[in-house]
Chain A
């Protein structure tokens, strides 16, 4: 198999595996705050091997996420385009950061994503631009925090996987 194709397949496989894990359902409350491993994995690959993550990934996996989460078509590709572009633009600055600093960045990214998803695009609530309430904000903070906490171990796992399977 061509080396590039093999690398792309390996990256895709890890992303599909994390989508699989994300789909696993617990109670409704846990489901609302559990980390989105797919997005964390996507950020990792965008930073670790920016030359491999292209728009093909962004659109295919973005649409997949839109269908799974029932969001407006194009919202997740938009989020992934932003993540991918920012990751690839600033990966030199991001990589040398300490894990605690990286986690803070991840916390902010996920908080923004969560609020972006809550924007009232369908104008269901004419009095407000967002569907978020106090509970949603609280859950979003917990959600972003959990994603930030899980980021360092996930980086280690990805690093081992990358060193073993991804060839330069």
Chain B
């Protein structure tokens, strides 16, 4: 054992091997430092400035983690027979036809909405307004879901609070920026608040998250409001953080509790596509 690994008893001159590197004093100092950091971060959100850069440093780790999964997937793909692939192609063709049909319906719906003076601003937005981000990691913490995207575009104008969209609609907003990494606060996050408008009753509300795989809630809705079960909720554009008319969720349950001043309205968020690799960051 090297010198310095042990102390010597002043009474018996025997070696004391159990030397703790973390003494009570250093424990208390570390505890105070950590607690101060936590409090500063809660109060000033200081870590949001550096989280993006930290993810930049961790990008190689995130990419390396994906390698075994991608390798297994590739091997499985190779093992697929031609027949399976043909079946897959025919089923995709069927899906494609269905999608084309739905698209034509959507076009018709859009036209009708415009006639009804519903502002469909997204139709006027050019493609440059969207930036493609590749999914790097989705945090498993259900209380604090975080998505990390790799937006490798040197000309991009990324800013905090820009909305992030999946192919279905809004899934969150940018919380922290790095050189190429983006940390996204998902709409399911308990801190997330999204101004929404209902599809049928055209009522405004604020949608609050309650964690991953948990139902959201419309907050502070008076009992006179006429929200209906099954209504879809779209971003209203109020607050100018989220662009209007993007799907956010669907009303699952409307309940009037006698001991509560407000309605209890539960909302199902858009399913976070685990398979989806790319997401869009809306930059305008």
Contact = CB atoms under 8 A, between A and B. Distances in A.
Q: Do A and B bind each other?
A: yes
Interface of A: 3-4, 19-20, 23-25, 27-29, 31-32, 34, 50-55, 58-59, 62-64, 66-75, 77-78, 81-82, 84-85, 88-89, 92, 117-118, 120-122, 124-125, 131-133, 135-136, 139, 168
Given A92-B18, A121-B38, A70 B141 contact: yes
A101 to B, nearest CB: 21
B151 interface: no
Interface stretch (B53-61, B74-82, B92-100, B119-127): B53-61
A68 B18 contact: no
B27 A32 contact: no
Contacts of B38: 72-75, 78, 121
6 contacts: A20-B61, A68-B137, A70-B183, A73-B47, A117-B143, A121-B38
Instruction: Give the interface centre of B22, B61, B139 by most chain A CB atoms within 10 Å.
Output: B22
A117 B143 CA distance: 8
Contact of B42 (A27, A55, A121): A121
B21 to A, nearest CB: 4
B41 interface: yes
Nearest to B192: A124
Contacts of B30: 55, 58-59, 77, 81
Ranked nearest first, the 6 interchain pairs of A and B with the lowest CB-CB distance are A74-B37, A31-B140, A70-B146, A124-B190, A73-B47, A78-B34
Given A28-B213, A73-B37, A121-B42, 16 more contacts: A19-B61, A23-B137, A25-B65, A28-B272, A53-B21, A69-B141, A74-B36, A75-B34, A81-B27, A81-B30, A88-B20, A89-B20, A117-B144, A118-B143, A125-B190, A133-B214
Contact of A67 (B19, B22, B51, B144): B51
Contact of A122 (B54, B61, B191): B191
A29 B214 CA distance: 12
Interface string B180-199: 00010000001100000000
Nearest to A68: B58
Contacts of B191: 122, 124
A22 to B, nearest CB: 9
Contact of B65 (A24, A84, A133): A24
A84 B38 CA distance: 19
Contacts of A124: 190-191
Nearest to A76: B34
Contacts of B19: 51
A84 B23 CA distance: 11
Contacts of A77: 30, 33-34, 37
A20 B31 contact: no
A71 B146 CA distance: 9
Nearest to B144: A70
B62 A69 contact: no
Contacts of B68: 24
Contacts of A70: 51, 139, 141, 144-146, 183
Nearest to A56: B21
Contacts of B210: 131, 133
Nearest to B37: A74
